[in-house]
């Protein structure tokens, strides 16, 4: 998450929030002056951003909540409900800011995982042990994962049982015990004695797709596949959808207030 993007998203939220706060203060203290132009101008930057996002979505033949938010603000402006337009803009900007934080958190967690990811694996050829690069592992290879090492690839367990620390994947602190034939997931840490496993055709684990694309959403998709729960994965769509759904209610509440300003 760059500081430039953060500053821009904070500004998008600060403008309608400050305008609404000023309008409420004026009403509470009985101050004069019409703040409708201020409320209108505070909502326009977010409306422009939403229009840009909605145009991109429509170009991809997708209709998201950005379109609903645009319609909500546009209808509010057409009905001269500038306060309502500012409220919807503030809610949409809040969702955008939360989504920026979530993407940054996902990127940081994935960077930490990549730093710990193994580059080599121990392959068994009969009783001969050799170190090979992750990319050289082939389906059916018998691998040895020593105590404290990270499971390099997905595959079934060979042996009676194994204890795995899956906290890097799921956040669960308690070791997970697997019986013979149990499926090992790349990224888990061997918390017991050395174990043997068979590499599957999903070699490279969660590392290869991430390094190949560098795309945060691919990273998050792989985390979700492994059951990773991010503490702050709040989609902006949820907040913007709420803005659209509550637009009418907000309009009813603020209609009387706008008339008094």
State pLDDT tens for residues 82-111.
999 999 999 999 988 888 888 888 778 777
In angstroms, rounded to a whole number, what is the distance separating the alpha carbons of residues 83 and 76? 8
3-state secondary structure of 214: coil
* Predicted pLDDT at 32: 61
CA angle, corner 75, sides to 74 and 80, nearest 5?
95
Any idea what DSSP says for residue 150?
B
Q: CATH 2.70.150.10 spans which residues of the chain? A: 119-205
State the pLDDT confidence band at 31, using cuts at 50, 70 and 90. low
Whether the predicted model's global pTM rises above the 0.85 cut? no
119-205: what fold? 2.70.150
Alpha-carbon 159 to chain mean position: 38
Q: Which residues, including other chains, have CB under 8 Å from residue 254's CB and lie 6 or more apart? A: 81, 83, 84, 87
State pLDDT tens for residues 196-247.
999 986 544 443 433 433 443 333 434 444 433 333 333 444 444 454 444 4
């Amino acid at each position: 998450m760059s500081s430039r993007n953060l500053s821009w998203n904070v500004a998008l939220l600060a403008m309608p929030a400050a305008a609404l706060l000023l309008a409420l203060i004026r009403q509470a203290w009985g101050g004069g002056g019409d703040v409708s132009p201020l409320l209108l101008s505070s909502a326009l930057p977010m409306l422009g951003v939403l229009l840009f996002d909605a145009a991109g979505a429509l170009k991809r033949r997708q209709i998201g909540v950005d379109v609903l938010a645009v319609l909500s603000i546009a209808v509010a402006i057409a009905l001269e409900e500038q306060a309502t337009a500012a409220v919807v803009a503030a809610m949409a900007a809040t969702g955008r800011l939360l989504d920026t934080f979530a993407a940054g958190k996902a990127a940081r967690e994935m960077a930490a995982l990549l730093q710990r990811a193994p580059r080599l694996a121990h392959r068994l050829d009969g009783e001969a042990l050799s170190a090979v690069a992750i990319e050289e592992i082939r389906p059916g290879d018998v691998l040895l994962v020593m105590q404290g090492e990270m499971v390099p690839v997905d595959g079934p367990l060979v042996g009676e049982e194994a204890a795995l620390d899956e906290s890097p994947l799921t956040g669960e602190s308690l070791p997970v015990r697997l019986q013979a034939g149990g499926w090992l997931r790349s990224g888990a840490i061997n918390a017991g004695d050395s174990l043997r496993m068979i590499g599957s055709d999903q070699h490279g684990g969660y590392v290869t797709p991430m390094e190949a694309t560098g795309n945060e959403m691919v990273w998050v998709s792989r985390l979700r596949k492994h059951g990773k729960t991010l503490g702050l994965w709040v989609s902006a769509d949820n907040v913007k959808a709420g803005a659209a759904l509550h637009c009418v209610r907000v309009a009813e509440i603020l209609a009387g207030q706008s008339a008094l300003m």
